A and B are shown apart, each in its own frame.
Chain A
Amino acid sequence: MIQTHDLRKKFGKLCALNGISVDLQQGKGVSLIGPNGSGKTTFIKCLLGMVLPDAGQICFEGQSIAQSWDYRKHIGYMPQIGRYPDNMRVRQVFDLMIDLRKDCHCGALDEELIEEFGLKGSFDKPMRTLSGGTRQKVSACLAFLFNPAVLILDEPTAGLDPIAAEALKAKVLREQQKGKLVLMTSHILNDLEELTTDVMYLVEGNLLFFQSVETILEQTQERRFAKAIAKIMTNQGQNQHIPSLQKVVL
């Protein structure tokens, strides 16, 4: 569904993405994992056309996305930090998004998550009065609203209460089973466990591996996903071949 080929991006001297080639397929739950500053968010932003790569190609269903915006109608994005205009009411934020996408979206809106979060009760509140968690709920609902074929979730469960986090996870799982591609990042490995079919592991802009969960469990000889990833991360930390990680350890 989404292919990237040798994707490169530098911010000044910092190399955020160093030749990333992956093929993200329909019906997969891909987790982007890596230490802070490893290029996860940059990768996501490249897919969304927010960051323009220095070199390399991104194809969405076989079409290059360079200079194109139309493909984004198939993507639902939930940002890491959701900040909205202060004086807009929750209802208006939804109306704005619906108005913006009405030309390319026909079919019913997916309001399942709005119901589950009980967000209808806050529809008349101005955005500035909402707590961080409620804003996060708004972001999540907006990502699912248009029934997109691809969901990109940047730290989806950060800031959500346990009940809301569970509801969101159940929703992600349901959508994945409908054959949608879900790409997500999180530092809470337990949250990712049930949703992940494949892991993309980034360090310092390099793709260390892109493997299915079964393969990872097999190779690390662990039974739980979180432990397996933790094991890999610690091993990477001790790996002398990555000079920058070495610096962190010292």
Chain B
Amino acid sequence: MRILLRYIAYDILRSRMIIAYTLFLLLMSATMFSIESNPGKGLLNLLNIILIVVPLVSIIFSTIHYYNSYEFIELLLAQPIPRQRLALGQFLGVGTALALAYLIGVGIPVLLTGFSAAALSLVLTGVMLSFIFVALALLAAVRTRDKARGIGVALLLWFYFALLYNGIVLFLLFAFSDYPLEKAVIAFVSFNPIDLGRILVMLHTDASALMGFTGAVMQQFFGSGWGVLYAVMIMLLWFGLPLWGSVRSFSRKDF
């Protein structure tokens, strides 16, 4: 598994797409911090871009990577290693490469401009989102034989988590605005890793004061040590469950 991780991550880190991704993230971080004099505001602007770009690149890149290395995976399957180990190695290789690209592109500039709880949570959120969306991509790709359909499913998943889900939640909040929904919102947030990441970072910035009563409830919940622990645990679930599912499907699949 470690051997595969090393070779696969090394291969990906040298691909043009990942280099372009790293440079894009670097450019974004640099611009956000140079146009905003207040690093807190710069961080929030950066957060909004990251929450769109990181899941999109992670899910699309790993789906395409899976289909492109299909023949190589077949060759690896003929080697004396168990399938689970091969699936985990594939996942960790892609995930590590994307997380490294993120750490270089966002982690270094953010932590250089000012070390704060918000900066740290932004870096951690990005890394976790990278791994979560690689796991989701793998789950979709392993279960879909056709490449075009697999990429379509990956795009749909991203579309759902990045855009559609918020729309649905807003609609529900609007429709049931006569009821106290503050607690329900916390539950809603748990069902979307991107929103969870957003809350985690925003609560560590000044912007949380602008979020009204719901924000106050969230501040109370996620602001405590237990709340952060809860959020991280849910994030880990978001990463563990798809990974478990994809390894399971991978082990039972016909190649």
A positions within 8 Å CB-CB of B:
11, 45, 48-52, 69-73, 75, 77, 79, 81-88, 92, 95-97, 99-101, 104, 139, 142, 152
Contacts and interface: CB of A to CB of B under 8 A. Distances in A.
A86 B252 contact: no
B15 A86 contact: yes
The 4 closest A-B pairs by CB, nearest first: A83-B71, A77-B78, A87-B14, A73-B80
Contacts of B255: 45, 50-51
A104 B72 contact: no
Query: Which of A72, A97, A100 has the most C-beta atoms of chain B within 10 angstroms of its own C-beta?
Result: A100
Interface residues of B, number: 27
A104 B14 CA distance: 30
A4 to B, nearest CB: 17
B77 interface: yes
Contacts of A83: 68-72
Given A50-B254, A96-B7, A79 B74 contact: yes
A166 to B, nearest CB: 24
Interface string B11-38: 1101100000000000000000000000
Contacts of B69: 83, 85
A127 B19 CA distance: 19
Contacts of A99: 3, 7
Contacts, number: 78
Contact of B11 (A52, A87, A139): A87
A195 B70 CA distance: 30
Given A51-B255, A83-B72, A75 B14 contact: no
Contact of A97 (B10, B79, B83): B79
6 contacts: A45-B255, A69-B82, A72-B79, A73-B80, A79-B74, A100-B76
A95 B11 CA distance: 13
Given A71-B80, A79-B71, A101-B79, 15 more contacts: A50-B254, A69-B82, A69-B83, A75-B78, A77-B78, A82-B75, A83-B69, A83-B71, A85-B7, A85-B8, A86-B11, A87-B14, A100-B76, A100-B81, A104-B80
A169 to B, nearest CB: 22
A218 B216 CA distance: 90
Nearest to A96: B7
A52 B252 contact: yes
A85 B80 contact: no
Contact of B78 (A11, A70, A72, A84): A72
A152 B252 CA distance: 23
Contacts of A152: 78
A21 B74 CA distance: 25
Contacts of B75: 77, 79, 82, 139, 142
A116 to B, nearest CB: 21
A25 to B, nearest CB: 21
Given A96-B7, A104-B80, A85 B252 contact: no
Contacts of A139: 75
A48 B77 contact: yes
Contacts of B78: 48, 50, 72, 75, 77, 79, 152
A85 B11 contact: yes
A99 B10 CA distance: 15
Nearest to B84: A69
Query: Which of B72, B76, B78 has the most C-beta atoms of chain A within 10 angstroms of its own C-beta?
Result: B78
Contacts of B74: 50, 79
Given A82-B71, A82-B75, A96-B7, A87 B15 contact: yes
B225 to A, nearest CB: 43
A77 B76 CA distance: 10
A84 B80 CA distance: 18
A69 B74 CA distance: 14
Contacts of A100: 3-4, 76, 79-81
A146 B11 CA distance: 24
A88 B7 contact: yes
A79 B76 CA distance: 11
